[in-house]
Every structure is written in C-alpha cells, then in structure tokens.
Amino acid sequence: MTGKTYAARPRRFGAVLASLALMATACTSGDAETQSSDEAAPAEIAIAPGDGEENLPPNSPVTVTSDGGSITDVRIDQSVGEESEEEDESLYEMSGSLNEDDTEWVSDWNLRPGAEVVVTATAENGDGEESELVHEFTTEAAPEGQRLGLTSNFPNSGDTVGVGMPVIINFDRPVTNKVEVENSMDVQSEEEIEGAWNWVDDQMAVFRPQEYWEPHQQVSVDLNLAGVESADGVYGNRNYAFDFEVGRELIATMHVPDHEMEIEIDGEHDRTFEVSNGAANRNFDTTSSGTHVLMERYETLTMDSATLGINEGDPGYYRLDVQYAVRTSNSGEFIHEMSSNGNIGSANTSNGCTNLRMDDARWFFENTLMGDVVETTGTDREFAWNNGWGYWQKSWEEWLEESETGEPQVTDGSGTPGPVHGEDL
C-alpha cells in the first residue's frame, strides 16, 4: 500500500465569495444578458463511515471520495480518553492510500478500539478552491480478555544486532486471522530489501529478509495492531513500535572435521579459533550443520542435560559449569569455554557444543552480537529451521511461499502487501 503525505493548505472560502459577488453585479437593468462562467463547481466530498455512527467495528476502513476535485488532505484524530494521555499519540497518526487521480483515499490501518474518531477531509476543484467535510463517529471497545497484545519482541528497541537477526513477535494469545495481522506489521530499513513473515506457531510471527541485512544501518518496526481483528471478536488494543541498529557484519564458519572456526568481519578475515565440536556418537551429541544465529549469552552457565530429557543415571548425562556461553539453538547447542577439553583443535569430543579455550571464548563472548551468524558444515545432523532461530535454513522461496500473504514486504516504507481491514467491511 502506498500513501501520500500532505502539507496543510490554506482554505480559500474568501475567493469563492468574491467570485459570487462579481457574478451578482455583472447584469444590467435594461438588456440583461446571462453571463456564462467557466468557474468550476465546488468539489463534493463523501466520507465513510457516516457522521454520527456509534460503536463501529474498529477494523472498519475510512474511505474518502471526491467528485469534481482532488483530495488534498485527510486527517483522522482518535481519542480514547485517559489512555490517550499515557501513550505516544504519534503511534496513531493515520496514513492512507490515494488512487491515481486523487479522488479516493482509503486508510492504511485500522482504528483504535473504544475511540471517538474525527475525520476531516479537504478537496480542491480545478480553480484551486477547497471544500471541507468533517465526520465524527465512535468505535467499539475491545472487551477485557479479548485484546491482542505482545508478550515480547526481539530485538528490543535500541539493540545493536548482527546481520542475521530476525524480527520476532510473541503475541499473548493465538492469532487466526494471520493475513490481516501480517499486513499490520510494517518493517522499514535504510537499505531496501524484500522480506516476509512466517508463523512458528499461532502466537509467534517472524520476519526475515531475503538475504542477510546490510550492515551499519537502522531498522524500524511499526506494529499497527490497534483495531486489527486477530481472531473472532478479538482485536488489537494498541500500537507498538521499536527500532534497532544492524552493526558490522560478523560471519563465523566451521567445517566440523577441521576443528577450526574462522571469523570474518565486514568481509575481511579477522581470526581463527581452534575448537572441539560434538563427538557424534548419537544424534544428541552431534553438532548440527546449517546457518545458526547467535541468541542469548551467559557469563557463567550450569549445563545440565536433564533440561533436554537426559536425566541423571541415563547414558550421556552431564552437569557442568562453563563460562562465556553463547546459545546457537534451543536444543542445547552453545559456543562456550571448556578449557578442560584437551582435544580442542585436534578431535571432536564434546556433547554437541562448540568448545573453546578460555581466551578465545572470552573474545567470542565480548565481541559478538545477538544476530551474528555461524555457518556450520560437515555433519549429518541438519539444523531444523524452528530450532531456536534457524530461520535461514529455509530458502527464500520456501520462506515467501509459507508467508500467509505469499507476497514480499519491501522495507522502503511503501507499506505492507495487502489490506488490514475486515473482509466483510
């Protein structure tokens, strides 16, 4: 959806009155002749919803049409009482999309639930004269217990992340109208790229660009969830926004049989670490091959196989304390210090993690970012796309095909691929 930004223009009602006065004095008392006029009629404006309507579904679109002129300005004010004072009102500035001849405007996003809405529309005829129309109406409130909100998002606002970082949104209740919700979430970046959303489950949506983010740029995410009907009778109650920075590009690569990790920063080789990976006696202790994205990190961590279902007394059980641990999967894979492993650089003998010596582990811990990439090859255990942040395991074609919209979102500010309003409205 593309929108236009309008600058306010002065109203010209004075010019209309002056023209009418000239017409009234252009006749003589004798040979009266009707004066022909080339003046354009005022533009006629129509707004939907109608003036005075009450308790409208908040996913109702606002439509403005003009007959005999071009739409020059549409402004929508949405007040929800005390809540308006507690939130950043800029989150609710409504943009819209014009047709090619500027005679129809449709709101890009839904309306706030429980709001008093004022729509002010202005259109200009061929002589530059403006007409204005104002409609006021109210929207239905989202009931307690039927409001869509967030439990978390990654990254957090202000984070600096690596080039492989996905945008992850965790909702507080299941989403069934996924198309409308996808189209309500707008990602913009300084360096334009195509991306798309996928759903890990009914409460987690993930945005991934076609390729790694370009380094050294800002990305913003606008979640225009207010008024979107996420499930039958369930509406988003507010909007959210956050931004983050993509830092330098750090790519780590490991071919597991080589017992080495290569670090490349902004396209240049930086250093090589000797490592010991999984012993591969069974699937559990085999380091997975694929594109991993660095997740959470711990300066000290107790690693206990019981958290993965291998309990004390079971074959392969372990419990040990390590330092400088950086997670690469949800199945227990970390890159961490293991100075007691005498096989670092010569043999793979770990429980599936990547073991480093103390100084190397400290450097990795202190100099990597959430979202940095580790590309691993050389084992027969394939990294699953939904194991942690393994989203790069899907090809772009697969990722796009499995988006609910089936269309890419371009991060240039041109908007999302489709409508956000209710299908029957």
Catalytic site residue from 135, 259, 353, 421: 353
Distance CA 57, CA 231 (A): 13
Q: In angstroms, how far is CA 148 from the centroid of its own chain? A: 16
For the purposes of burial, counting CB atoms within 10 Å of the CB of 257, is it exposed (0-12), middle (13-18) or buried (19 or more)?
exposed
Angle at 331 between CA 254 and CA 317, to 5 degrees: 100
Q: Residues 269, 262: contact at Cβ < 8 Å? A: yes
Catalytic site residue from 259, 292, 336, 421: 336
- Of 352, 350, 311, which Cα lies nearest the Cα of 330? 352
292 is catalytic: no
Rg (CA), the chain: 29
Q: How far is CA 327 from CA 74, 251, 344, 394, in A?
A: 49, 15, 19, 20
DSSP assignment letter at 344: T
Copy the structure tokens of residue 424: 């029957």
Q: Specify the pairing of strand 234-236 against strand 147-148.
A: parallel
27 is catalytic: no
Sign of CA dihedral 52, 54, 56, 58: positive
- Which amino acid is it at 317? Y
- Which amino acid is it at 42? P
**Residues with catalytic roles:** 336, 353
